[in-house]
Structure 1
Amino acid sequence: MRKIFSVSIALLLIAMITGYAIWTGQRPVGHYLSDLRIQLAVSDGQPGERGNLLGIQPELFPTDYQSLEHLHRKLAAYLQQARDQGLLNDKTIVVLPEHIGTWLFARGEKDELYQATTINEAMNWLSVSNPLQFLNALIRAKGSNRLDDAHLRMKARAMAKDYQALFGGLAKEFAVTLVAGSIVLPEPSIDNGQLHIGAGPLYNSSLVFGSDGLPIGQPQRQLYPTFAERNYIQPATPAALNVVDTPAGRLGVLIGSDSWYPRNYAQLNNNGAELIAVPAFVVGHGLWSKPWRGYKSASTPEGVSLKPGETSEGEAWRRLTLTGHAPASTARAGISVFMRGQFWDQGSSGDSFANRQGLTGTDQISANQPGHGARLINLWL
């Protein structure tokens, strides 16, 4: 009797494990119809032979990341509409927002992840649906928040491949230079034109792709992650600011609040940066109009008099982003591009803006006004 009972338990466990394995392997791809609307929010200057900075503030949701085909279709539709409006040429630099690549961890997951109501619930589904990958990543995790590290590390190799295929492909398809927002990866680097990952800490990094679809230079790593992100994202060394050559001029990239630090502009000046792209992401609906909370990663730099609560989040971004404010920055122009949309309970905020010779372009359409759709921010050089 005891032997029969043991055999029954063993068969039940085998059935449960087999069922779980089958369940984790199922990856249904839904036929999600995305909102492809986009409006020209800002257009400054006159078309000429020097090219333009074109920011795309996309409206994105978790379901857009079900497959690369879904995401490509949406971003390509935005670029096609920009082309139809005469905003793309061989000297155009397209800039996308911070973390647009990070959400690629959600590619090819189960429906339960996309239907989750909170990001914590979504991450739980990510772990449960990929148990071996998650456990392997948890063993190799760095930093004090090993759980968040593991969630971003577990699919890093596939994320890096998808990131290059998607954004390099878009740059080639539309014959533009493309600043591909940012993506969190472990020790990313370029070797023989391919994006590779390492086994070390996670970095929030941005890549620039040329019109041939290949990366230009090495990934630009973020210098100042927020306090919360520092638990799992490593800050880059202060000397690690790159400037790359593009058809429109020498380009520097400052990720998020890296654009708040005067020393970064001084370094870009020394490296001959003529243009600056700022991929950015502000978490929280309506935060743009709320009081600024101060520097999120380090003490206030010398020479900056702005205090927390003294102005709104949006005004602080405009005042601290010094593109075009000589002698702090000798760049001719710059653009700051934010995300629009909702990732589970993580809302987004921010009006993208452009600078030229110390002047900030005035929004014709607020990115935070009611309604749906993406925004184009164009600055002719």
Structure 2
Amino acid sequence: MKILKYIVYIFLVLVILYSSWVSYPSMQQDKKEPKDKKLSTPVIINAGQNSGNGNLVGMQVSISGIDYSTEHRFYDKLETLMQHAKYNGFLNHQTTVLFPEHIGTFLVLNGEKPSAYLADDYKKAISSMKLSNIINYYLNYFNSSSSTKDIETLLKIKAEAVRDTYYKVFSKLAKIYGVYIVAGTIVLPSPIVRDGKIYIREGKLENVSFVFSPKGDVMELHSAKKTLSKVESYLLNSDKSKTTPLIQSNLLPYTSAIIISHDTLGNSSYLLNTEKIPDAILSPSSILKEEDLAWYFSKNLSKFNPNIKEVLKEKNSPTDLWLTYSLPQWIFFSGARIGLQVFLNGHIIGLNLSGYSYYIMGTEIDVVPSREDSAIINVWN
């Protein structure tokens, strides 16, 4: 009996110590953490003239792991860009703001230890998060089915918290600034929209984009990525039967279609199953700097260009390939006049995100000159 009591006592002590470690406020670590210095004035590109027909604002976001450490930091990062856009006269009741792909996905780091969100390698970040969520992690680990079960498990057990933070931040921004927001993308399990809210269900993970109205509600339409990157293909579900949604409102004098990232690299995404031709194509995007896009292009574009292998040799970077075979190549299939593609850039848990944001209007293309800085692209309709 004494031995049993001793074991129970030791167990309780361990539980208390673990609970204290997990719940120790991350804000206490702020004194030891490097502050984010990238709050300088963003690069500004302004195209066209204000004719009273609304405008599109694309946000190239340069971000780091520390920006995801708390909800407050994440909100401040995005609101800084919104403030600059407002100061430059870009925000009004006929504005649609576009944020990059996966801007919501990295909220999985929210509330974690500095050893996770400041990690210089994603494997170290995963190890830290597994320890912080050890009980819930192993209760759900064997329900995961992908080849990267550890990442899938973490994304699923934190899905509700990630969704809640994502919703609160973008809903608040949309209401405060009175604009429509295409809130980049976020990875969630089988999400649906009901009564202006995002609900998640048991099911496979999807990379999805939601649109917030000026009232802060989520609009019924949402877009799911069909053409997954090589990294995503190990983890996410892709439903190619889903149609491309069209953003339209009585308050907006234009319509927009959302085509996510790699979906812009082929003509099929632009053949929209809609009665109305969109005025603009909006593309939240991201590219890993180390990602080898050659496998995709050589596999999928040889039928359009028999000399694609020679083209691949001539191109210096994924960005060159992207500008050649993305919106500028295919937008005419949709009938849209304007294309806007923005990228998430920065260094997060050892991942190097790197892409040049740009707009296209007719034959005119303007590319943000830097991948290191945040940028705002404003296009008057």
Q: Do they fold alike, i.e. is TM over 0.5? A: yes
2:20 maps to 1:22 = yes
1:53 and 1:334 in contact (8 A); partners too: no
Residue of 120, 129, 144 corresponding to 1:117: 120
> Counterpart amino acid of 1:341?
G
Distance 1:298 1:134 in 2: 37
Distance 2:231 2:187 in 1: 14
2:223 maps to 1:220 = yes
2:190 maps to 1:187 = yes
Partner of 2:327: 322
2:378 maps to 1:378 = yes
Partner of 1:238: 241
Partner of 1:211: 214
Equivalent residue runs for 1:159-178 within 5 Å? 159-178=162-181
Distance 2:118 2:367 in 1: 37
Give the stretch that moved more between structures: 119-128 or 218-227.
218-227
For residue 44 of structure 1, report the CA deviation from its aligned partner.
Answer: 1.6
Structure 1 residues 366 and 23, CA, compared in 2 at 3 Å: closer, same or farther?
A: closer
2:196 and 2:220 in contact (8 A); partners too: no
Equivalent residue runs for 1:38-53 within 5 Å? 38-53=41-56
Partner of 1:309: 313
Equivalent residue runs for 1:112-151 within 5 Å? 112-151=115-154
Give the stretch that moved more between structures: 45-54 or 330-339.
45-54
Give the stretch that moved more between structures: 299-308 or 214-223.
299-308
For residue 76 of structure 1, report the CA deviation from its aligned partner.
Answer: 0.9
For residue 77 of structure 1, report the CA deviation from its aligned partner.
Answer: 1.4
Distance 1:93 1:86 in 2: 14
Give the stretch that moved more between structures: 229-238 or 109-118.
109-118
Partner of 1:62: 65
Distance 1:100 1:326 in 2: 24
Residue of 251, 256, 260 corresponding to 1:255: 260
Structure 1 residues 269 and 352, CA, compared in 2 at 3 Å: closer, same or farther?
A: farther
> Counterpart amino acid of 1:43?
N
1:136 and 1:154 in contact (8 A); partners too: no
Superposition TM-score, scaled by structure 1 size:
0.89
Distance 2:83 2:288 in 1: 28
Which SS does the other structure have where 2:248 is aligned? strand
Distance 2:299 2:284 in 1: 20
5+ unaligned residues in a row in structure 1: which ranges? none
For residue 234 of structure 1, report the CA deviation from its aligned partner.
Answer: 0.3
Give the stretch that moved more between structures: 324-333 or 97-106.
324-333
For residue 120 of structure 1, report the CA deviation from its aligned partner.
Answer: 0.9
Distance 1:284 1:323 in 2: 21
1:324 and 1:333 in contact (8 A); partners too: no
2:155 maps to 1:152 = yes
Partner of 1:293: 294
Structure 1 residues 194 and 269, CA, compared in 2 at 3 Å: closer, same or farther?
A: closer
Distance 2:152 2:297 in 1: 20
Distance 2:137 2:294 in 1: 34
For residue 379 of structure 1, report the CA deviation from its aligned partner.
Answer: 1.5
2:354 maps to 1:349 = yes
Partner of 2:370: 366
Structure 1 residues 219 and 54, CA, compared in 2 at 3 Å: closer, same or farther?
A: same
Structure 1 residues 17 and 325, CA, compared in 2 at 3 Å: closer, same or farther?
A: closer
Which SS does the other structure have where 2:340 is aligned? strand
Structure 1 residues 301 and 270, CA, compared in 2 at 3 Å: closer, same or farther?
A: farther
> Counterpart amino acid of 2:277?
G
Aligned residues: 370
Give the stretch that moved more between structures: 259-268 or 201-210.
259-268
2:243 and 2:272 in contact (8 A); partners too: no
Distance 2:209 2:173 in 1: 15
* Residues 252-291 of structure 1 deviation map (CA, whole Å, 9 limit, x = unaligned): 1111110111011012676522211111111127x7xxx8
Structure 1 residues 303 and 296, CA, compared in 2 at 3 Å: closer, same or farther?
A: closer
For residue 362 of structure 1, report the CA deviation from its aligned partner.
Answer: 4.3
> Counterpart amino acid of 1:339?
L
Percent of matched pairs sharing the same residue: 25
For residue 39 of structure 1, report the CA deviation from its aligned partner.
Answer: 2.3
Structure 1 residues 297 and 117, CA, compared in 2 at 3 Å: closer, same or farther?
A: farther
Give the stretch that moved more between structures: 25-34 or 312-321.
25-34
2:270 and 2:330 in contact (8 A); partners too: no
Distance 2:229 2:299 in 1: 8
For residue 327 of structure 1, report the CA deviation from its aligned partner.
Answer: 4.1
1:324 and 1:356 in contact (8 A); partners too: no
Structure 1 residues 323 and 190, CA, compared in 2 at 3 Å: closer, same or farther?
A: farther
For residue 301 of structure 1, report the CA deviation from its aligned partner.
Answer: 7.1
2:224 and 2:242 in contact (8 A); partners too: no
Structure 1 residues 324 and 42, CA, compared in 2 at 3 Å: closer, same or farther?
A: farther
For residue 26 of structure 1, report the CA deviation from its aligned partner.
Answer: 2.1
1:324 and 1:355 in contact (8 A); partners too: no
For residue 112 of structure 1, report the CA deviation from its aligned partner.
Answer: 2.2
Superposition TM-score, scaled by structure 2 size:
0.89
Distance 1:224 1:175 in 2: 32
> Counterpart amino acid of 2:333?
A
5+ unaligned residues in a row in structure 2: which ranges? none
Structure 1 residues 257 and 248, CA, compared in 2 at 3 Å: closer, same or farther?
A: farther
Distance 1:94 1:126 in 2: 32
> Counterpart amino acid of 2:294?
R
